[in-house]
Structure 1
Amino acid sequence: MSVTRIPIEEMPSKSKVAIYRLPGGGGFLWGVATSRDLSLDLPGQAADALAVIDGYLTDAGLDRTCIVRCEVIVTDHDRKPEFDEVWKAWMPEGHGPVRSFVQSIMPEGDQVEIIVTAALPTDQKA
């Protein structure tokens, strides 16, 4: 099994990205992101976290259309319409993944955390 992990610097026992490559090609990328700037409002943090996701995808040779699943965690579910506006501008039309949106307690300053699963193309080998 070929799994590549990119650890979180502050806690190496956790990964921000994991990539599993299937033996015949293809596979999956899982990534998690929060905003790098906690002074931003929810839409700003959402846009920044999505920019982090873009970096993970680019590093793996992927784009947003490869995302098949997304989990969005926020501190205030009532702000979903604000997040949805950022998401709508970010996600290419017709390529929306399965997405959930839940509220949770998060570390001080964090307003959103985004977890994605993306499919690697079958011609992409280990």
Structure 2
Amino acid sequence: MTIQRFHTGPRMSQAVVHGDTIYLAGQVGDANSDITNQTKECLAKVDALLAECGSSKENILSTTIWLADMKDFAAMNAVWDAWVPQGHTPGRACGEAKLATPDFLVEFMIIAAKP
């Protein structure tokens, strides 16, 4: 099976497609924004990468969300709930972790199917 890599750099690719499965690197937003805007920016990046790989959010299989502080759980979920297509919600996990920089408040990791 062929492996396709998108936006490949020296450390990682932003998306990798193997067969009919798409793996996205962790997506973060503008480090100078609040949790609401960082979440919106992350999800916009997810939309763009999935489209580039030939898929969409309706085909997300699994999402892992890392929050720098669980106090932001409700605010992140408000954005997530407005974005995720009802009837197509993926498996999901959310936890608290130190992210790459203290200014990052949220990071999304996505696995999706390619229809």
**Structure-1-length-normalised TM-score:** 0.84
| Counterpart contact for 1:70–1:117, Cα < 8 Å | yes
Residue type matched to 1:118 in 2?
Answer: A
- Displacement of 1:44 in angstroms is 0.7
What does residue range 14-25 of structure 1 map to in structure 2 within 5 Å? 14-21=12-19
Which protein has the bigger strand share? 1
Structure 2: give runs of 5+ residues left out of the alignment.
Answer: none
- Displacement of 1:83 in angstroms is 0.8
Structure 1: give runs of 5+ residues left out of the alignment.
Answer: 22-26, 122-126
Residue type matched to 1:13 in 2?
Answer: R
| Counterpart contact for 1:7–1:13, Cα < 8 Å | no
Q: Once the two structures are aligned, what percentage of the paired residues are identical? A: 25
The runs of at least 4 consecutive aligned structure 1 residues that moved more than 2 Å come to 6-9
**Structure-2-length-normalised TM-score:** 0.91
Q: Deviations over 1:64-121 (max 9, x none)?
A: 1000100000100122111110001101111110000011111131111100000112
| Structure with greater Cα Rg | 1
Aligned to 2:85, the other structure's residue is in SS state coil
Aligned to 2:72, the other structure's residue is in SS state helix
- Could you tell me which residue of structure 1 aligns to residue 37 of structure 2? 44
- Displacement of 1:60 in angstroms is 1.5
Q: Aligned pairs, how many?
A: 113
For 1:8 and 1:73, locate their aligned partners in 2 and report how far apart those are by CA, in whole Å.
23
For 1:112 and 1:18, locate their aligned partners in 2 and report how far apart those are by CA, in whole Å.
21
Q: CA RMSD in A?
A: 1.2
